[in-house]
Amino acid sequence: MLGLILLALTLVDPALAHHNKGLPHYGYFENYPQVPTEEYVRIEGRWEVGATIFNFQGIKARETSDTPNDVKFFMYIYDLEEDHGYSGPVSIDITQGGQIISSMERLEPDGEGVYISRETLPSSGNYELRFTFDEGSATLPFAVDLAVDQINWTLVGGMGLGVAALMGLGLHGRRRRLAHRAAPVAG
């Protein structure tokens, strides 16, 4: 039996990376469920650009954080014609309304084909990542909600009213069922 298992293991292809073109997956942040995560992908000609964006605000972090508007970017450039990731130098600008908010330069990916950066954004809103590299350029629109950690009291109140209404209906039904029972017969 052991021989069959070893034979099966030698015939199996080696496992490939479990990343989507080098981007981290949600499992890495399973201990941080409060971390809002967004993924963006765009194809421009032969290039696919993508980014996973982590907004590390969490609950009440804006009040206690030294850097409340920091956002972490995991970005990639993929050559669709050659079917492989780009791994050369790149200049990446974060723009909003045509104005450059932040710029970064990389000679090569920071790890596993991914360019990584932590940037401070001025406010919630719509932005663009502009990639400029040896073989071309591409843009990737994205949105960030820096106030995502705020509690939506309207939603909380609506849920509370729904629970209260269900409890009220349950109590009302119980009273009606008890009121319609016949009195015990004396005997």
Model pLDDT, residue 174: 66
96-104 contact pairs (CB < 8 A, 24+): 96/122, 96/125, 96/126, 96/127, 96/128, 101/127
Q: Give the pLDDT score at 2.
A: 66
Of 58-72, 75-89, 124-138, the least confident: 58-72
Tell me the pLDDT tens digit for each residue of 131-174. 999 999 999 999 888 765 455 556 566 677 777 777 777 777 76
